[in-house]
Structure 1
Amino acid sequence: MVRRLHAESLDFVGAAPVRLVFTRVLSAPPERVFHALASDVSGWAEWFPAVTSIEPIDEGAGRDVRLSGGGRFRETVLAAKEPELYAYRVDVTNAPGVRALVEEWRLAPDGAGTRVRWTFAADGPVLVRGALRLAGPGLGWSFRGAMTRLEQRLATLP
């Protein structure tokens, strides 16, 4: 079943009932990390283990995402401010119970590298909120693995 979610703005990241925040420092500079997030969209499937495919849509204004396990998301890019911010909102999904979902990637220089902060902001009924909070450690594990793979990928690309 495909469901349309609430069309939240970037402000939702600070106000969402569920906010899961994960941070990691990569050795690559912010411009390279930003490029991997915002410009090399289909490359996400190479470094984010949960993503099986991701394609830009609407001339880069959105993304069509497929996850392992069958999850699907149609997203709108809310911000692409190089080299510090990339954010998107899920507009349509087959995930049950979720009413709103926005993800924000903030990048900041950290020595010669980049501090990456990913915020997963969501809303849903009370049981869904609880389930999302319980999923926090798994999302953190997925994020850490993705950042390790992204760092390896960036080290091998020209």
Structure 2
Amino acid sequence: MAHRLRPVGPDFAETAPVRLVFAREVAAPPEAVFRALAEDVSGWSDWFSAVTLARPTGDGTGREVRLRGGTRFAETVLAAEAPRLYAYRADVTNAPGMRALVEEWRLTPAGGGTRVQWTFAADGTALFRGGLTLARPGLGRAFRNAVTALDRRLASAPA
């Protein structure tokens, strides 16, 4: 059953009760990584294995995302500041116990490529928060695998 989440702003990425932050360097330049995140939303399922469907909504101001296992999100884009920041908030989900969610992608030039930092900022019931903390290693692995796959995809893309 889908439920509406608390509408939070971009600052929630810094103040959420649960903040999981992961980072990895890739060879692709920040501009290419930003395009893949913010402009090629439908391409997410090609490099982020947990994502089965992603598509822009509302002229790009929103997103619809479905994950493996059946979790669904209707999201609002909070920031799309090329080539350094992409952030979105979940507005509606079927994930039990979740009350608020912001995901933030920060891109910084690093060693000829990009440092990609993903913050998963959430609030929910005590059970949800505890489960999310326990899920940290799996989310970190999913992030690393996704960013590695994205970097390979960008390296093989025609110039």
**What CA deviation, in whole Å up to 9, does each residue of 1:46-72 have, x standing for no partner?**
000000010100000000001110010
Partner of 2:120: 120
Look up the equivalent residue of 1:118 and give its one-letter code: W
With normalisation by structure 1, the TM-score equals 0.99
Mapping of residues 34-45 of structure 1, within 5 Å: 34-45=34-45
Give the secondary structure class of the aligned counterpart of 1:6.
Answer: coil
Q: CA RMSD in A?
A: 0.5
The one-letter amino acid paired with 2:84 is: E
Distance 1:29 1:4 in 2: 36
Q: Secondary structure at the match of 1:95?
A: coil
1:114-153 → structure 2 map (5 Å cutoff): 114-153=114-153
Alignment identity in percent? 65
**Corresponding residue number in structure 2 for 1:70:** 70
What are the ranges of 5 or more consecutive residues in structure 1 without an aligned counterpart? none
Report the TM-score when normalising by structure 2: 0.98
Aligned residues: 158
> Counterpart of 1:99 in 2: which secondary structure?
strand
In structure 2, the partner of 1:92 is 92
> Which residues of structure 2 form unaligned runs of 5+?
none
Tell me what 2:61 maps to.
61
3-state DSSP of counterpart to 1:35: helix
Inter-partner Cα distance in structure 2 for 1:73 and 1:142: 18
Question: Per-residue deviation at 1:96?
Answer: 0.2
